[in-house]
Amino acid sequence: MKVLIVKTSSMGDVIHTLPALTDAANAFPEAQFDWVVEKSFQEIPAWHKHIHRVIPVELRAWCKNPLKSFRKAELQSFYHALRQEKYDVIIDAQGLTKSALLARVARGNQRHGLNQRSARDKLAFIHYHHRHDVSWEKHAVERVRELFSQALGYSLPKGPIDYGLTFDRLGESPFEKNYLVFLHGTTWTTKHWPESHWRTLAQYATGNGFSVYLNSGNDDEYQRAKRITTDIAHAHAMPYKGIDELASIISNAQGTVAVDTGLGHLAAALAKPTVSIYGATDPKMTGAYGRNQAHLTSGLSCSPCFKKTCHYEFKAKYTEQPPCAAGLRPELIWDVLSKLVQREPNVP
C-alpha cells in the first residue's frame, strides 16, 4: 500500500502529525509513506523512520510570486514529483483548501480528509472522496491520529504516543552536555516573554551550573538573544542554525524553556524536559504534547485571548509586556524546570 500525507505547515502542525504516522506504520508495516511538506520544514518528516519520500512544496513563495515560480519551472518540477507515484490512499491532514488541492493533483483513487464540521476550512471537504468526523475537543495530535485511523481503517493503539524520530539522524551537539536551551523566538508579540525575565532565568540557570543557549531564527531574535545574555557568564546567543542542527542541540540538552513556538513542539517530540510559557494562547488543544512537558498559563482574566496584539484594558499599568506572560515570574519557571531536570533550585 502506498500512502501520501499532505501536511505542509506550520512547524508545530507538521510535528503534531508524526505520531499518527507511527500508528499507521505500525498497523501496516509494509506500507510506503510519502509526505508533502513546505520546503522549510522538509527535514522534519525525514527524521521519521517510516518515511519513504519527502516531497517539498513552496506554496508560500509561489503564492507571493506565481509568475516567477512558473518561469523558473518550480511549479512544473513539483507537479511531476507529486505525480511520480500512484497512491492507494491520500490523506490531507491540513484541512485547508490549498492542501486539499494538492491532494487532488496527486494521483490516487482515495482522497481522505476532515468533513465540513471538523475542518478549519469549511470548503476543503469538497475535494475528498471520504470525509471524516473528528472532534474539536481533542488535542491536535489526537485529532490527526484519529483522522489517520479512520482513513486507513485501524484501531488507535493504547499507551503513550510515539513521534517515531530516529535520534541517530540528528547527530551530536557541538556543546558540552550540561546545558539548557531557551526558545525565546515567536511570531506574535503577545506570545513573547519579557527580556528581563529571560535574563533573570539565565542567571538562575548559570548559577546552578548550567550553560544556557538561546536560539535565533532571524536578526531581530539574535539581537534579543544578545541583549538577554549580555554580561552573563556561560549564557550564549546562537546565530541562525538550520533545523537539523537545532534538533541536535535540543536533543542533547538537559532541558528547555519555550514560549508558544514550533521549536517548543520539537522539544516535546524529542521528550526533552520543557517548561512552555503560554499567555495569549492555550495549551489545551495545541500545546507541546508528550513526556516531560510542563505548561504554565497566565492568571489574567483576558487570557487566552488568541490575539496577535494586546488589547488588555489595564495594559498600561504593567511595566513588562505582554502583561499575561509577564505575570509568570522567572522564579516559578526555574522551580518547575529544575524539578523536571532533577536539579534542586537555588533561587537568590
Question: What domains can you pick out in the chain, each with its CATH number?
Answer: 2-167 (3.40.50.2000), 171-340 (3.40.50.2000)
Q: What does the pLDDT read at residue 345?
A: 52
Considering the entire predicted model, what is its pTM?
A: 0.92
Q: What does the pLDDT read at residue 342?
A: 83
- Sign, CA dihedral 128-132-134-140, equals negative
Answer whether 164's CB lies under 8 Å from 292's CB.
no
Cell output for 216: 535565533
Separation of CA 232 from chain center: 29
Pairing, β 111-114 against β 107-108 = unpaired
Q: Name the β-bridge partners of 111.
A: 90
Q: What does the pLDDT read at residue 344?
A: 45
Cell output for 56: 517539498
Radius of gyration of the CA atoms of the chain, in A: 21
Cell output for 114: 476532515
Per-residue pLDDT of the chain (348 residues; tens, 9 = 90+): 999 999 999 999 999 999 999 999 999 999 999 999 999 999 999 999 999 999 999 987 777 776 666 666 788 899 999 999 999 999 999 999 999 999 999 999 899 999 999 999 999 999 999 999 999 999 999 999 999 999 999 999 999 999 999 766 666 778 878 999 999 999 899 999 999 999 999 999 999 999 999 999 999 999 999 999 999 999 999 999 999 999 999 999 999 999 999 999 999 999 999 999 999 999 999 999 999 999 999 988 899 999 999 988 778 878 888 999 999 999 999 999 999 998 545 544
Q: What does the pLDDT read at residue 169?
A: 65
Q: What does the pLDDT read at residue 88?
A: 98
Q: Name the β-bridge partners of 51.
A: 33
Q: How many CA atoms lie within 13 A of 210 on its CB side?
A: 25
